Each structure stands twice: as structure tokens, then as C-alpha cells.
Structure 1
């Protein structure tokens, strides 16, 4: 006998449960402050990754960052101005930058011109210029683990939702962000056709990656700390990339209900657990860490993510898949 479809009340309660389970475990800010910033320089698509071409691009974005710093200082936001001052340091390299609407940036760690392995790191909720340090620290740790002839790009190419906003339960922002991620990786592929490119998707960032998957010419799509993708299985992503999934044993995201509900006003939830056998991803051991520990130096998850980026099989010793 077929089971009865869920009642309207049950659907409403499930939707509330999804919202509460995502919103309540961590505290977050209501959203980025409205700090003014100038329109950045229009950049041509990245078509070459020679040292000279990259140096010119880095110099242009540095000029834009300094202009945004001056605007933040004039607005009286000392913290934003200080963050931008650090970003404008000559030792730091940005492929793109836009200080408006919470901020957009793509920072390079390592020498992109001779990189054989490139990891594009896509962050999740509550990431903007005011909280950029977490993303930077993760990118630095991964670059150190990968070693020479590698580059990591911290891609803040969209405005992630706040963990305490209704946007976190829908994929609306991912729909808007996916074309940007596709365009960015296409430029990397054009500029570095021989490089092995992997896209690493943390938390809500995996929703963006799933939406973009069919347009990504990359070797690997790595989902970690994912609430789901909005798709029933890896095959539905229509990607030639190998899809990987991992979750730390202490990650609260494992308690999020894996449902996807069509309500009159929106579709909420992200469906199948990427670690479930029916999803069909290749599961890698991610250790005992929590939601923010995947790229922590010395962790099982960092070692295995670096192995995936390098085209190697993840190690099976220790930790939990």
C-alpha cells in the first residue's frame, strides 16, 4: 500500500524544522553593513596566466582595494578600512575585487603562473569582507599542505546568505551565483589549459557548486560540511567531475533534515544527504572535526582534500567518512 502524501500541516512543520535546524546551531550577523565602495575597474577576461599578465591584473585590483579602503575610512568604518588596508599589501594577489554589497574577491595563494594543481575554494554562509579572515586562513592552510606547483584561490564571488536569514533555506542566491562561478572557472581553464582544477565547496557553498556543476570544466567537485545540494543525486548534477563528499564527526550540519519541500511561497531544504549511498558521491574520511575545521592544519580532512586536489586517492586511516 502506498504511503499517504504528507499533509499541509506536516509540510509546514517540516519546513519549520529545516529552518530551525540550519539557523539555530550557530550565531551570525544579520548581514554586511552598507559600507560604500566605488565601482571597480572593468577587467578583461583572464586569458593568460603569464607572470606579466598576472602582475598587471594584481596591480589593478590593488588600486581598486585602496580606493575602497579610502571610501570605508571616509564612511567611518575603521574595521573595514583596516581589512582593506591589509588586502592591499603588495604581497597579496587578487584576480578580482569589488568592495560593494558585502564584497567580492578572488585571492590567489601561490604562483598561479606555474601551477599544475589549482583549488578554487567556495565559502558558505556569513562570509564577506568583514569576516574574510576565516576564508583566507583556510586557503593558506590548504596551499601549505599542497606545496609547490600549486595554487589556491579563495573565491568570494557571490554574496552568501546570513545563517540567520530565510535565504539560507532556499537556493535563490546559489542560482544567481552559479553563472559567476562557471565564468570564473572557464577563465582559469582558458588561461591554464594544462592545470588540474578542483572546486572545493564548504557548507552552503556546496549549493552554489551544485547549481554551477554542469558548467564547470574541472576534475573534482568536493563537498564538505554540506547541508545538501538541492539535487537528488550526483548524476543529476550533470558533471564530468568526480563528485566527493565528506563530513566531520562533530559537524552540526549532520543533524540538518535532508528534505526538500515545495511550499506555496518557496522551495526549502536541500534534499539528499551527499554522504548517503543513494546520492552516489565518493565519500572521503573527514576526521572528527566540527563545521569550521575541514581545512584546519594537521586535520584528516585537510590531508584528504589536498590529496584529492593532487589527483590522489584519499587516505583511509583514522577519522570518519
Structure 2
């Protein structure tokens, strides 16, 4: 670009490098960037008008001779420089708008910046502003922007640091167990070694899944007992429709992530085909799901207790708000929560905290309790011979609600086959994500329903 220093200062006044960030924490907020975007757009419009008027001078009637030609050439060059400045302002305005969107979303995902995503965003925004003001010239492949991309970068780095630490812990505990007369039983070294190896196995599972196309690590945390994580499928930052899959009891990252990722990916692909929209998904294993082991007798971790759900709900609620809350100047994506078994209890807790979603799909729910009037009426999948779906332990059976939309489950039986790729129930759920749900199914009674009816009558 051929702008003089004084011309460049116009842009610099509107984009203060010191306000972008220096990797030392949050120095600006979403509203700052959105205001900057509005200012840049307005300034660009005015400057474009000036450029047109300057260019029109070269066409004035009566200009003749060499002096006129030279003046016309100078006027044209000035107008071209002004056009370049307008283009720079527009590029810079676009960066400011995206930066505001990303900060707003990240502040919902991670309000206390536990991940360090704020500093990562600051650094990327600074680079993007520099590129925008240098005619877009910069690295051939700049780092992807957007909340999911930023969370992925910081969480992968955190995961690798965690792996390195766990390897050292494993080595130390293994040596202690080998030295102990009773294999570490008296010092709990054996239990610690088992837990450490499970955490390392979780990181191995995440590494395998993240090697698949389009996967991003949007949540990673070492919980008190297990590793928890969430992996996105597809471009979450650009999607028109998003599906968040919340599994139930017995789920672990090391034992179940690969399976859940495959099922979620199949639903996302089917929904994209049905809708013609950009569809993405998230496998949300971001809470310590209750397990079918000694945790059953602990009220803080038992599957019979709401405590695991209330403990895990804040992280899910933040993620849903972060997903649903974008974007400045455009429509937010349509977000569907797809919860299975105990995951429906977690989803109810998250939505009760005000998390915004458009649709809710409940599969084999052990009871659904609306806690706020803003929760949408659920789509319900209840397969034949699913004992959990008729428990009503955590609230009424959602399939009995007058406003429930029952999904087809023909061919499915039991508690765990709702998302089997190609199944009737999986196709019906994909249709909900796509925004083209099929005809509601009639209510069907099975043996458990009849038994419960008899109990009520007695």
C-alpha cells in the first residue's frame, strides 16, 4: 500500500496496539472490539466518499495540456491510495468484529480463564490486526481464529503438559509399589498407580480421536477422580447447527470416547445431509459421570444421586451459553442437546441454570424435571425394554408429558442402542438436529409402563 505515514496514522488511531494484548491477560472486552468495529466501518464509509470525490476531480471539464494530465495522474494516484486505505479499514473492522465475538464466547466458556485462552486470543488478534494493516500480507497460513480453535490450541498444550507430569507420577508410584511388601496396598500407592494409568489412557484416547479430521479439544480437565474432556466434530465456530452429546452413567474418556465420537460423527454427518447446513457436534464427556463400582455407595458420586449432575452442570451450561451466544451482527447457531440416561439429569441441571438451547433430545431418561419455564419441550426417544427409561427416579417419565415429541425407535431395544449408526432412532435424532423432525410417534406402553400403572391404581 502507498499510504504516507500520516495516512497510516488514521488507522493506527482506531486500532491501538497496546489495547490488543501482550500475552499478559485480558486487556479488552467484547464491547471494546464491537465499538471499534462500528467506528472503523463508519470511518471507512466516509473515506470511500472522499475517494470518489477526489477521483471525480480528474474528470473535470476543461482540463487540457501536459499540466492537466500530470494533475489528473496525481489525483488518480491519491484516489487509489484512499481506496487502499478504505480496504485496510474494512479488513481491520472485520478483525475487530471477530475478536469481539471470540472474546464474548470465550468469556462464557471459561469466565475465569483457567485455560489461558484469553492470552492466546490476545496474541492472535494482535497478529490479525498487523496482517489487516499490511494489505493482508503475513504468514501464509495464520493460526485459525474462533473460540473452538483457540480452546483447542491451549487445551492440547495443557494436555501434553499433563501427560508429562503423569508419566513422572506413574514412574514414581510404580517404583513404590515394587518396593512395597504388599504391593502398595498399605500406602494406597496401588490405587494411585491405577488412577494415574487411567488418566494416561484417557490422554491416549484423546490423542487418537484428535488425530481424526475436524476434531478439536474444546474442554480438558483433570477431575478429582478422572480425566474429563469434550471433543468437537466439524467447524463449531462456523456451524449453523450444533449438536451437543451428553452421555450417561459409566462413561469415561479412556473407555468410551472413541465409541461416542463415532456415534456423534454419524449423527452430525446425517444432519448435514438432511439440512444442507453447516452442522457440527461436541461429544461432551466434560463431567465425572457416576460409575458402576464402589462409587455407588458414595452420595457425592452415586448414580442414584443428583450430586454428579449438579457438580458437572456449570461447565456444560457455560459451554452451551458460549455456543449459543455468538455472533455479533449475525444469527446464533441452532443448538440441540442430545442427552442419554444420567446425561439427561446433567442436562436438566445445566438448563436450569439458564443455559440457552433450542432443542433437547432425551434418550432413555430416568426422569426429567423442568426447573425453569424457558426449557424447550423435549424430543423423547424411549426404546422397548429400556428399564432405565421407566424408572422415574429423577422426575416424571418425559415420554408421558403432553408436550413431548416422541421419536421413532423401531428396531432398537434396551438402554444403549439409540445412536447406533443407521438405526431408526439415530436418523430421527439427526432429523431434529437438522431442523426437519419427522412425524411424532404415538405413545406405546410396555411391560414396565403397565407395572407402574398397576402400582398407581393400587
TM over 0.5: yes
- Name which structure has the greater RCO, CA cutoff 8 Å, separation 6+: 1
User: Could you say what secondary structure the match of 1:97 adopts?
Assistant: strand
Structure with the larger strand share: 1
User: Could you say what secondary structure the match of 2:205 adopts?
Assistant: helix
Give the corresponding residue for 2:435: 311
TM-score when scaled to structure 1? 0.72
CA apart distance, 1:271: 2.9
User: Could you say what secondary structure the match of 1:121 adopts?
Assistant: strand
In structure 1, the gaps of 5 or more residues are 1-39, 259-268
Cα pair distance change 1:90/1:120, threshold 3 Å: closer
Q: 1:281 aligns with which of 396, 404, 412?
A: 404
Q: Is the contact made by 2:336 and 2:360 (CA closer than 8 Å) also made in structure 1?
A: yes
CA distance in 1, matches of 2:269, 2:383: 21
User: Paired residues, what number?
Assistant: 265
Q: Is the contact made by 2:367 and 2:389 (CA closer than 8 Å) also made in structure 1?
A: no
Q: Is the contact made by 1:285 and 1:319 (CA closer than 8 Å) also made in structure 2?
A: no
Structure with greater Cα Rg: 2
User: Could you say what secondary structure the match of 2:311 adopts?
Assistant: helix
Cα pair distance change 1:46/1:227, threshold 3 Å: farther
CA distance in 1, matches of 2:410, 2:308: 30
State the superposition RMSD in angstroms: 3.1
CA distance in 2, matches of 1:80, 1:218: 29
CA distance in 2, matches of 1:320, 1:46: 52
Give the corresponding residue for 1:134: 259
Q: Is the contact made by 1:219 and 1:241 (CA closer than 8 Å) also made in structure 2?
A: yes
CA distance in 2, matches of 1:46, 1:155: 23
Q: Is the contact made by 2:202 and 2:254 (CA closer than 8 Å) also made in structure 1?
A: yes
User: Could you say what secondary structure the match of 1:112 adopts?
Assistant: coil
CA apart distance, 1:133: 2.2
CA distance in 2, matches of 1:119, 1:85: 22
CA distance in 2, matches of 1:56, 1:179: 21
CA distance in 2, matches of 1:178, 1:297: 28
CA apart distance, 1:239: 2.4
Q: 1:70 aligns with which of 146, 153, 164?
A: 164
CA distance in 2, matches of 1:210, 1:55: 28
Q: Is the contact made by 1:253 and 1:291 (CA closer than 8 Å) also made in structure 2?
A: yes
Structure with the larger helix share: 2
CA distance in 1, matches of 2:374, 2:158: 35
Within 5 Å, give how 1:141-290 maps onto structure 2: 141-147=266-272, 149-164=278-293, 165-166=296-297, 167-192=302-327, 193-214=331-352, 215-229=354-368, 231=369, 234=370, 236-254=371-389, 256=391, 258=392, 269-277=393-401, 280-289=403-412, 290=414
CA offsets 1:90-128 (integer angstroms, 9 cap, x no match): 843111211343122121101123211101111111222
CA distance in 2, matches of 1:128, 1:62: 19
User: Could you say what secondary structure the match of 1:55 adopts?
Assistant: helix
Q: Is the contact made by 1:287 and 1:320 (CA closer than 8 Å) also made in structure 2?
A: no
Cα pair distance change 1:46/1:108, threshold 3 Å: farther
Within 5 Å, give how 1:40-51 maps onto structure 2: 41-44=115-118, 51=144
User: Could you say what secondary structure the match of 1:113 adopts?
Assistant: coil
Give the corresponding residue for 1:110: 234
CA offsets 1:45-102 (integer angstroms, 9 cap, x no match): 999xx94234333222111222233334441636445324325538431112113431
User: Could you say what secondary structure the match of 1:168 adopts?
Assistant: coil
Q: Is the contact made by 1:296 and 1:302 (CA closer than 8 Å) also made in structure 2?
A: yes
Give the corresponding residue for 1:7: none
